[in-house]
Amino acid sequence: MAQQTKKTKKTILALTGALLVTSALTACGSKDDDTKTTTTTEPSTTATDGTTSERYAEPVTLKLMIDNQTSTEGIKAVADEIEKRYNIKTEFDLRPGGDEGDNLVKTRLATGEMDDLSFYNSGSLFKALKPEKYFLDVTNEPFMQNVMDSFLPTVSVDGKVYAAPSGASQAGAWLYNKKVYADLGLSVPKTWDELKANNEKIKAAGKTAVIGSYKDSWTSQLIVLADYANVQADAPTFADDFTNNKAKFADTPAALRSFQKLGEMQPYMNKDYLATTYDQAIKMLVDGTGVQYPMLTFALSNIFATYPDQIDNIGVFAQPADNADKTALTVWMPAAISIYKDGKNVEAAKKWLNFFASPEGMAIQATKAKPEGPYVIKGAQLPDDAYAGVKEMMPYFDNGNNAPALEFLSPLKGPNLPQLTVEVGAGMKSAEDNAKAYDKDVEKQAKQLGIQGW
Amino acid sequence: MQKASLTKASKRLYTYKFLLPAGIIYFVLFLLPTIMSFFFSMTRWDLVEWNFIGFDNYKTFFSESSLNIGFRNTLIYAVVTCSLKVILGLLLGVALTSGLRIKGYLRSVVFFPTLLSTIAVGIAFSSMMHPSQGLINKSLALAGIVGPDWLGDTSIALLSVAFVDVWKGVGMATVIFIAGIMSIPEDYYEALQIDGGNAWDRFWHITNPLVAPAMNSVIILSFIGGLRSFDLVWAMTKGGPGFSTDLIASIIYKQYQGGFYGLSTAGNVILFIGVSLLAFPLLKLLSKREVDL
């Protein structure tokens, strides 16, 4: 017995030793590989076409901090063109997205280690960074003349502008499978009741009418958030009153309605909505087992990347209001690109942004990344091969039937909204209770951020 | 003569000099942040600027609507994981110190989950616990059983996570128990054999009382671990659905994510005090139980 255990001990020791050695070897190997790749990319290929007098003699490298969930293809295309023209290289510094990314950006700003350029959400999240302390005031820069007025308030503090748009806007709306709609003889709903009637028919046909993907709890907020253009049609001053502690979700009928709408959808959702993820929801929508999905239109790009042949089969409609002539589309503004005030290459960064935020820059971006909504740069056109869903959104812009989402109009967005909307959407709590709970959550945030009037 | 000049006081100081390097590291990295956190918990703080607001953060923290769920869940989680780890760990420890032929192999099998990353375990189990696509419910379906939605059903979601915690943590408990059992001298068992005791007597009258120091370590470690547990819950449910699996630690983390640094610091101070209030009396109570070998 004892001998046997000794033997096994020996073999185990030998095995672990072997493992350690091999892992050390592989670690060395990968290190070698890394250095190799960096050295091979070192010699820069300088193109002769498109050179301007503003071109730097020596290459300048700018770092751009961007989250790892945004597709960088389009921005890279513009960055390559900038390198050709101005000899300014762009290094992409990837950071996590979501809340973790927020913390990272805030920490980097606080410790004075921000990159030359920062890519970040516009609206309430941007303002929470205190841009006036860290970013360059670009109000009077020539490139800001190109930017549409609708974008400016989302990146301004006290009338000064601190960022340029990173691309096209998008909408919070309902994506739907056009083929199933046609098969069942349905038409795009103009009122909330029509939407529910459609849901009944889809359910009767044995399909999921409304896809819920609450495993990724942020997706549960969409029905509430995408309703804001409708709220504003009924209560035009809600955003200001909400920010100034004069209006609440719970006692403003139009705003409370957003939570009620969410609560009414539970019977139409897929069975596993608490365990379904965003990626699974996209798959359901594309293969037609799920027919409608309340989502941001950036999902169109995900669909295009994974199921390119199905992209024209996905349509978009605005979340309907109770009354057809109040139905409007809720718009999400593009992310903001800002220049770090204390960066080493502020002048180069200005040049970078000057080209990036031009109609030409947007056109180059469109060659690699199709827009998920209209551009907010004056003179930038949608490309002809834009997604069918985006083309379907255009009437809402042509007729002016749209409004920015609340988070672009107010610095307040309670951090617990995803959990609260999961509870309402899953029928664990009533719309009224959680509208109240959300008001409390917002109050906590306003007090913590030290906003006046709270 | 030199030696004689060392007074008693300087002799004492002399020994402290050796403690100084470790003491400085401990002070800078552990004590100082703890003291600072008491201060920052009373401020509105954005990591750069702070302004003093007294006990407002504590008031806000205690009025948090999900806090009741958090306290209840934290206690349930700590008690369930701790007791299961003790019971299963002790049984496994006894089994793996017996004459089993393959006990060496079994010991590594039991210990193996402890080596895995908690986040990886959480992600793997949350996909296995998917109500229709997951491995667990698909296996149950073969036997004709319709499995529940392990992580979606609010009444069992917390227990599902606790189960995974036990799966992952029982190896460590077992190893501690094995060490405890091995250190019991063989003489006691021989004496019992002479007196004609059976296997149950061996366990109940010798192993059980004499393994108490090991058991206390397991209880303390797993109970405190349960109270401040966070990573597994975050990887598996992020406190959801809704707030149903929120623990104190996940509530604090969400406040930190919201940018409420002062408030979340206050939460951590409360957690610190809470864990101390529970852990110290527990330690005292348990050390009374220990029997000297």
Interface predicted TM-score (ipTM) of this complex, two decimals: 0.80
Residues A410, A127: contact at Cβ < 8 Å? no
| Chain B, nearest residue to A427 by Cα | B242
Residues in chain A: 454
- Give yes or no for A7 touching B (CB within 8 A): no
Which of A415, A429, A437 minimises the CB distance to B258?
Answer: A415
Tens-level pLDDT at each residue, chain B (293 residues): 455 556 777 777 888 888 899 999 999 999 999 899 999 999 888 777 788 888 888 988 888 777 888 889 999 999 999 999 999 999 999 999 988 888 889 999 999 999 999 999 999 999 999 988 899 999 999 999 888 989 988 889 999 999 999 999 999 999 999 999 999 999 999 999 999 888 899 899 999 899 998 998 899 889 888 888 899 999 999 887 889 999 988 999 988 888 888 899 999 999 889 888 988 888 888 777 665 55
Identity (one letter) of the amino acid at A138? V
- Give yes or no for A419 touching B (CB within 8 A): yes
Residues A129, A105: contact at Cβ < 8 Å? yes
- Give yes or no for A85 touching B (CB within 8 A): no
**A200-204 mean pLDDT:** 96
Q: Where are the alpha helices (DSSP H) in B46-117?
A: 56-62, 67-96, 103-115
> Are residues A448 and B256, on separate chains, in Cβ contact within 8 Å?
no
Identity (one letter) of the amino acid at A139? T
At residue B279, the pLDDT reads 82
Identify the DSSP state of B48: S
pLDDT digit string (tens) for B238-286?
887 889 999 988 999 988 888 888 899 999 999 889 888 988 888 888 7
Which of B65, B240, B255 minimises the CB distance to A422?
Answer: B240
At residue A192, the pLDDT reads 96
Structure tokens at A203: 């359910």
Interacting residues of A49 by C-beta distance below 8 A, sequence separation 6+:
A84
At residue A1, the pLDDT reads 43
- Give yes or no for B155 touching A (CB within 8 A): no
Confidence at A118, pLDDT banded by 50, 70, 90: very high
Interacting residues of A285 by C-beta distance below 8 A, sequence separation 6+:
A175, A176, A177, A211, A291, A292, A293, A303, A314
Residue B153's H or E segment, with its range, is: none
Chain B: closest CA distance from residue A400 (Å): 34
Beta strands A170-177; A290-296: pairing state? antiparallel
Residues of B in contact with A448 (CB under 8 A): 44, 60, 258-260, 262-263
Give A42's Cβ-side CA count (13 Å radius): 7
Beta strands A314-317; A170-177: pairing state? antiparallel
Chain A: closest CA distance from residue B46 (Å): 8
